Amino acid sequence: MHPLAYEELPVPAGVEPFRPEEHPGLTVWFTGLSSAGKTTIATEVRRRLLRLRMRTEVLDGDSLRKHLSSDLGFSKQDRDTNIRRIGFVANLLSRNGVIVLVAAISPYQEVREEVRSKIGRFAEVYVNAPLQVCERRDVKGLYKKARRGELRHFTGIDDPYEPAPDLECQTHLESVSECADKVMRLILSSRMQK
Amino acid sequence: MHPLAYEELPVPAGVEPFRPEEHPGLTVWFTGLSSAGKTTIATEVRRRLLRLRMRTEVLDGDSLRKHLSSDLGFSKQDRDTNIRRIGFVANLLSRNGVIVLVAAISPYQEVREEVRSKIGRFAEVYVNAPLQVCERRDVKGLYKKARRGELRHFTGIDDPYEPAPDLECQTHLESVSECADKVMRLILSSRMQK
């Protein structure tokens, strides 16, 4: 055995005690149709949080599907499983003081409520633009595919979306910067309340 | 629009700048046979890290399978996918300053190396006890099932295990406390080096 117990080692430089009550993390969950602007706003909020030197991560639905849910499709059950997985990761991060920005269509209110109740410190932001606007943007060309019948269960086309927001951003009326302002106020005021 | 830009808000109490270089996270990956003692040691290390008020999470293979990989089996491909998913979560946590303690059989060296190269700050602990010892412990009754042929692809029985450790704990010779001592020294010295 090593003769030196770890308790006798000097406290490493830069190690500073973690007191969860002083580092309240938060999950901000951006929901809404494809091309509504969820990732765009989340990315801008992240940029601003980093400027304030706050811990933050964007969990983007598309990227998370690739990393955690490559096996899942778009049935209600698979969508719910995907949301639960994202919620599980968001919970791990936010209870360690990270401001987690989830950008995922997450159309079903029930599973969002389930995730909210598990995480606790949770705010839902409805990124809202009319279907016609989202379809005109069609950033990933998915609406075209859905209209041609090549994609089924497409939210807004042949699958429902159920809003229940704490905050709403209307991306056809408000700029990215205005939306990010609103979200920043939400985040900073939630941290002041703890 | 709200008349007050968020930049004008006072900095919330308790918000302290995050400088990643001052909060080096780390992933400590415990591998080894079922019933070798991975979760037991990880849990003891977590207890000690919490006493030092360091951010820490245990990612237990069984629990992670339930939350992230309920769809996956135990073929090599499915095991590798499961390990990549755990690695993805460990990376998110450790780059935010968390000491992540992964306890997962993770028998294949190649995918562990892949995860190591993605995470960077990574140490592999081989929790080693002879197969006969693990089989005698058989905490979850899995060896019995494997011997009866009810479980296939069982590591140590009809599936391989490939060690490549930075540190080894021999749980048939060393106590939990001795093993945890070694791991704590590894963690604290890695933090001192940054």
User: pLDDT tens digits for B129-163?
Assistant: 999 999 999 999 999 999 999 999 999 999 999 98
In single-letter form, the type of residue at position B142 comes to L
Domain-embedded: residue A5: no
Domain-embedded: residue A4: no
B54-B55-B56 Cα angle (round to 5): 110
> Which CATH number belongs to the domain containing residue A45 in this structure?
3.40.50.300
> Taking residues B42-62, what's their average pLDDT?
92
Q: Give the pLDDT band of residue B192 (cuts 50, 70, 90).
A: low
Domain-embedded: residue B6: no
What are the chain B neighbours of A189 within 8 Å (beta carbons)?
9
Domain-embedded: residue B2: no
Give the pLDDT score at A193: 56
Q: How many domains does chain A have?
A: 1
User: In angstroms, what CA-CA distances link A177 with A7, A37, A45, A182, B3?
Assistant: 49, 12, 9, 9, 14
Using CA coordinates, name the residue in chain A closest to B22.
Answer: A14
Q: Give the pLDDT band of residue B2 (cuts 50, 70, 90).
A: very low
CA distance A170 to chain B (A): 12
> Taking residues B16-40, what's their average pLDDT?
85
Cβ contacts of residue B136 below 8 Å, gap of 6+? none
Domain-embedded: residue B149: yes
Is the pLDDT score of B96 beyond 60?
yes
**Adjacency order of strands within the sheet including A26-31:** A56-60, A99-103, A26-31, A122-128, A167-170
The Cα–Cα gap between B86 and B159 comes to 20
What are the chain B neighbours of A17 within 8 Å (beta carbons)?
52-54
Range of the domain at A48: 23-193
Give the pLDDT score at A191: 65
Give the pLDDT score at A52: 86
What are the chain B neighbours of A21 within 8 Å (beta carbons)?
14
| Inter-chain CB proximity B9 and A182 less than 8 Å | no
CA distance A147 to chain B (A): 30
Is the pLDDT score of B16 beyond 60?
no
Beta-carbon pairs below 8 A across chains A and B: 118
User: Considering CB atoms only, which of B6, B84, B189 is closest to A184?
Assistant: B6
Is the pLDDT score of B90 beyond 70?
yes
- Determine whether A117 is an active site residue: no
Give the pLDDT score at B188: 87
Domain-embedded: residue A2: no
pLDDT tens, N- to C-terminus, chain A (194 residues):
333 344 444 444 445 566 666 678 999 999 999 999 999 999 999 999 988 888 999 999 988 999 999 889 888 999 999 999 999 999 999 999 999 999 999 999 999 999 999 999 999 999 999 999 999 999 999 999 999 999 999 999 999 999 888 999 999 999 999 999 999 999 988 765 54
Q: Give the pLDDT band of residue B24 (cuts 50, 70, 90).
A: confident
| Inter-chain CB proximity B81 and A70 less than 8 Å | yes
Domain-embedded: residue B8: no
Give the pLDDT score at A194: 47
Work out the mean pLDDT of chain B and round it to a whole number.
Answer: 87
In degrees rounded to 5, what are phi and psi of residue A103?
A: -120, 100
Per the residue annotation, which of B106, B117, B175, B177 is the catalytic one?
B106
The Cα–Cα gap between A172 and A182 comes to 15
> Taking residues B92-115, what's their average pLDDT?
94
Domain-embedded: residue B171: yes
CA distance B172 to chain A (A): 15
ipTM: 0.83
Per the residue annotation, which of A34, A69, A94, A106 is the catalytic one?
A106
Note the pTM of the prediction, 2 decimals: 0.85
**Which one of B1, B4, B6 makes the best mutation probe of the A interface by having the most chain A beta carbons within 10 Å?**
B6
